[in-house]
DNA sequence: GTCTATATGCTGATAGAC
DNA sequence: GTCTATCAGCATATAGAC
C-alpha cells in the first residue's frame, strides 16, 4: 500500500502536499501564523489561492498538518547511556538550528497557542506535558532510578524550558551561540543534585 | 511640571491613555498582536475605532507604548547579597504570575518579534541583550567576581532562557508550578560551577 | 488538479462633523 | 475628545469552467 503511493496521481498529490508544507513552514515562521495569508503561501507555492485550498481546505488544516509532521519526525527512544542521551539531544538541537524556519514557526505558534481558543491549543498542552514526562523518564534512566524522582521531574521541566528559552534568544539574535549554553546547561543538569 | 499634570485636560487624557494600555495588554495577550484588531481594543475601551486612534495614532504606536511601559516598571538595582538577589527575582516572577495578561502578551510578542520585519523587533533584540548583560553583572556580583566571567555570562543566558521557558509552560498549563522549578533552577545556578 | 471570478466581511487608516 | 462615514486592501471561502 505504501509502495503504490509512489506511482500515480496519489503520489504526485502527496509530494505536492509535502512541498506546500515546506513553503508554509517558511512563511509562517517568518511572519507568524496569523500574519501570513493563504494568498502569500499560495504565491510562494506557485499556486492560486483557490489552488492551495484544494490541498488544504483552510488555514487551520494547513497548520495542523504542519504541526503533525514535525511531531512524527521527532520520535526517539529512551537510552540508559548518558553520553548517548546527551548526544541525541544535541543532535536534535543542531537539527532545530538548521531548520530555522520550523523553529521560528514553533516559537511563534507556542506564543499564540497560549490562548485556549487557539486552533491547536490542546495539542500544545498535551505535547508539552508528554515531552516533560518523556524527559523525566530519560533522566531517571541515566540517573539509575527505577521511577522518575521529584528531582528528575523538575530537571525535565527545566530542560524543556532551557530548550525553548535558548532558541528564542538565538532566533532574536543569530549570533547567539545557543549550542554552547545548551551544552553547559545539560552538563549542569546531569552533574548537579540538590542533595550533594 | 509633573504636578500640573494632575489637573486639567492633560491629566485626564493621560489617565485615559493608561486605561487603554491596560485593556490593550489584555487583548494582545490573549490573541496576539496581529490577530487583535484596533476595533476590538476600541470596543473593550468603550470607544469607537477612530476614537482610539485619537490616543494612539496607529497600531504600532500602541504596541510600542505598551512595551515601553513594561520596560519602565522593571528597572532594578544590582545587589551583592545573594539572598537579596534571589528574593528580587522571585518577586519579579511572582509579579509576572499575577499579571498573567502582560506575561502572555510578552510570550506572544517575543514569538512574533523573531521576525526582523516586526515593528518592535530591534527593541526585543536590544532588550534581551541588555538583560543578559545585567544578569551577568549581577551573577558576577554575588560570585565575588570583579567582571563577569565566561561562566557568569553563560549562567545569565541560561537564567533568561529558564525564565521565558518556564513561563511558557505555565501559560500553556496554569497548573504548572512555575515557581517551584524556578527556585530549583536558581539554586542550581548559584551553587553549581563547571570547575567544582 | 488548477484556474478565474466573485462573495462577504474585517482590516488599518482618513476626513470631517459635532 | 469622540463620533459617523467611508476608503482601499486583503482575508477566507465558494462556484463553477477547463
Chain segment B156-168, per-residue pLDDT in tens: 999 999 999 999 9
Which of the two residues, A144 and A70, has the higher pLDDT score? A144
- Check whether A15 has a pLDDT greater than 90: no
Would you call B108 and A114 a contact, using CB atoms and an 8 Å cutoff?
A: yes
Rounded to 10 deg, the angle between the A82-98 and A100-113 helix axes is 90
What is the per-residue pLDDT for B188? 98
Quote the percentage of chain A above a pLDDT of 90: 55
Query: Nearest to residue B111, comparing CAs of A157, A33, A41, A71?
Result: A33
- Check whether A6 has a pLDDT greater than 90: no
CA A108 – CA A116 distance, rounded (Å): 15
For strand C, which residues in window 108-147 of chain A come within 7 Å by CB? none
Q: CA angle, B43 as apex, B42 and B47 as ends, to 5°?
A: 60
What is the per-residue pLDDT for B4? 46
CA distances from A127 to A113, A133, B143 (A): 12, 10, 38
Q: Which nucleotide is nearest to B9 (CA to C1')?
A: D1
Q: Are A70 and A82 in contact (CB under 8 A)?
A: no
Summarised one tens digit per residue, pLDDT across range A71-112 is: 888 777 889 999 999 999 999 999 999 988 889 888 988 988
The arithmetic mean of pLDDT across residues A38-58, rounded, is: 90
CA A154 – CA B129 distance, rounded (Å): 27
Strand C, nucleotides covered by protein (CB < 7 Å): 1-5, 10-16
- Chain B partners of A184 at a C-beta cutoff of 8 Å? 154, 158, 194
pLDDT band at A70 (very low <50, low <70, confident <90, very high): confident
Q: What is the mean pLDDT of chain B?
A: 91
Q: How many Å lie between the alpha carbon of B150 and the closest alpha carbon of chain A?
A: 11
3-state secondary structure of B92: helix
For strand C, which residues in window 56-75 of chain B come within 7 Å by CB? 57-60
Q: What is the mean pLDDT of chain A?
A: 88
- Chain B partners of A117 at a C-beta cutoff of 8 Å? 30-31
Q: How many Å lie between the alpha carbon of A152 and the closest alpha carbon of chain B?
A: 11
What is the per-residue pLDDT for A9? 55
- Check whether A12 has a pLDDT greater than 80: no
CA B151 – CA B194 distance, rounded (Å): 8
What is the per-residue pLDDT for A8? 52
Q: Report if CB B139 to strand D is under 7 Å.
A: no
- Chain A partners of B107 at a C-beta cutoff of 8 Å? 110-111, 114
* B62-CA/C14-C1' distance, Å: 18
What is the per-residue pLDDT for B160? 98
Summarised one tens digit per residue, pLDDT across range B103-124 is: 998 998 898 888 887 888 899 9
Summarised one tens digit per residue, pLDDT across range A125-177 is: 999 999 999 999 999 999 999 999 999 999 999 999 999 999 999 999 999 99
Going along chain B from its start, the domains and CATH numbers come out as 3-66 (1.10.10.60), 74-191 (1.10.357)
- Chain A partners of B180 at a C-beta cutoff of 8 Å? 154
CA distances from A29 to A22, A40, B31, B86, B155 (A): 11, 13, 17, 36, 28
Q: Are A177 and A91 in contact (CB under 8 A)?
A: no
- A vs B: CB pairs below 8 A: 146
Which of the two residues, B94 and B8, has the higher pLDDT score? B94
| Cα A67 versus chain centre, distance | 8
Residue B70 sits at φ, ψ, to 5 deg, of -60, -45
What is the per-residue pLDDT for A78? 85
Weakest-pLDDT range from A17-21, A137-141, B173-177: A17-21
Q: Are B171 and B104 in contact (CB under 8 A)?
A: yes
Q: Report if CB A37 to strand C is under 7 Å.
A: no
Q: From the list A34, A109, A117, which residue is nearest B34 (CB)?
A: A34
Q: How many Å lie between the alpha carbon of B153 and the closest alpha carbon of chain A?
A: 9
Query: Nearest to residue B132, comparing CAs of A44, A170, A156?
Result: A170
- Check whether A196 has a pLDDT greater than 90: no
Quote the percentage of chain B above a pLDDT of 90: 70
Weakest-pLDDT range from A56-65, A167-176, B134-143: A56-65
Weakest-pLDDT range from A96-110, A182-196, B6-20, B179-193: B6-20
CA distances from A19 to A4, A26, A45, A95, B144 (A): 20, 11, 8, 19, 55
In the numeric block, which cell numbers belong to residue B192?
553549581
CA A17 – CA A22 distance, rounded (Å): 9
> Could you tell me which residues come within 8 angstroms of residue B94 by beta carbon, excluding any fewer than 6 positions away?
B179
DSSP B7: S
Amino acid at each position: 500500500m505504501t509502495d503504490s503511493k509512489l506511482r500515480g496521481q496519489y503520489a504526485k498529490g502527496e509530494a505536492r502536499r509535502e512541498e506546500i508544507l515546506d513553503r508554509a513552514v517558511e512563511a509562517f515562521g517568518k511572519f507568524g501564523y496569523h500574519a501570513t495569508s493563504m494568498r502569500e503561501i499560495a504565491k510562494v507555492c506557485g499556486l492560486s489561492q483557490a489552488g492551495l485550498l484544494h490541498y488544504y481546505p483552510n488555514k487551520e488544516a494547513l497548520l495542523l498538518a504542519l504541526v503533525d509532521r514535525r511531531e512524527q519526525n521527532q520520535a526517539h527512544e529512551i537510552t540508559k547511556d548518558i553520553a548517548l542521551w546527551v548526544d541525541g539531544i544535541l543532535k536534535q538541537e543542531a537539527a532545530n538550528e538548521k531548520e530555522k524556519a520550523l523553529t521560528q514557526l514553533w516559537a511563534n505558534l507556542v506564543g499564540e497557542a497560549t490562548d485556549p481558543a487557539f486552533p491547536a491549543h490542546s495539542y500544545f498542552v498535551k505535547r508539552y506535558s508528554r515531552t516533560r514526562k518523556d524527559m523525566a523518564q530519560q533522566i531517571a534512566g541515566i540517573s539509575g532510578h527505577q521511577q522518575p524522582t521529584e528531582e528528575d521531574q523538575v530537571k525535565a521541566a527545566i530542560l524543556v524550558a532551557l530548550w525553548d528559552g535558548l532558541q528564542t534568544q538565538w532566533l532574536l539574535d543569530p549570533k547567539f551561540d545557543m549550542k554552547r549554553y545548551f551544552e553547559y546547561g545539560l552538563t549542569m543538569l546531569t552533574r548537579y543534585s540538590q542533595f550533594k
